[in-house]
Amino acid sequence: MTDVPPDWIHPPDLAAARAAQHAIAARAEAADRLAEVPRLVAGVDCAGAARGRPDRIRAMAVLLERGAPSAPVATGLVEGVPAFRYVPGFLGFREIPFILDALAALPARPDLLLVDGHGLSHPRGCGTATHLGVVLDLPTIGVAKSPLVGKPEGELGMEAGSQVPLVWKGRRIATVLRSKRGVNPLFVSAGHRVSPETAVRHVLDWLAGYRLPEPTRLADKLAGEARRLAEA
DNA sequence: GCGACAG
DNA sequence: ATCTTGTCGC
């Protein structure tokens, strides 16, 4: 992470941010370049602050080891004041500065990173997952709870495991996945160094009875608990 | 011009 | 994302 342009992390404005996204997307790798069976997998997510309070956010990184699910090997928590307000399509610039610190607090680099948000299923092919992947040169997968762009192609079955492609401008940009019966689907997209098929395979692999895969589920839960404790 | 819009 | 208890359903 030494040859990363400053604008990729702290662009002065949205115009620079947009240019950075195009540059990052051009460097994103669509082919698999990761371990067949990742041993250390991390999940990251951010929690905001209760309204009425300063615009602070907390980034939580959770490190899990294959075989020992739901029992984090380690966690990293970071709090700060984001430089950007939330603007659809530019979420990465608001959260990534803190996510990078949260990941740096972990004792080891993960073999794979699951991100709460989109990867390639983004207007410029540069969702937070892709952004993080290129900056860290780490395999990443985007796991979003709602679409940013695109429409599901066809009817998604009600059974767990049902899938249908998310299409935008004639392109398949993500997989709409029913991770569990009776819940809204997940939008799984490739981030960096992971193919669309592999992305879905790993999400299914780390599912443990909940809508979200463990890495992201725990990061989401722990970030929320940290917020409660801090504001209590 | 109008509506949509990850977290 | 956040505001929030009970409640319907498998």
Which nucleotide's C1' is closest to A126 (Cα)? B6
> Would the annotation count A3 as a binding residue?
no
A85 is near strand C: CB distance < 7 Å: no
Domain covering A6-231 in this structure, CATH number: 3.30.2170.10
What's residue A53's pLDDT? 76
User: How many Cβ atoms are within 10 Å of A123's Cβ, its own excluded?
Assistant: 18
Distance of CA A141 to the CA centre of its chain: 6
User: What residue type is A79 in one-letter code?
Assistant: E
Looking at the DSSP bridge assignments, the partners of residue A186 are A177
Bases in strand B with any atom closer than 7 Å to a protein CB: 5-7
Task: Quote the DSSP letter at residue A7.
Answer: G
Distances A15 to A27, A97, A165 between C-alpha atoms, Å: 19, 18, 31
Positive or negative, the CA dihedral A223, A226, A231, A232 is: positive
The protein residue nearest C1 (Cα–C1') is A48
Residues in chain A: 232
Positions of chain A with pLDDT lower than 70, given as ranges:
1-2, 52, 69-70
What's residue A69's pLDDT? 65
User: What residue type is A227 in one-letter code?
Assistant: R
What's residue A1's pLDDT? 56
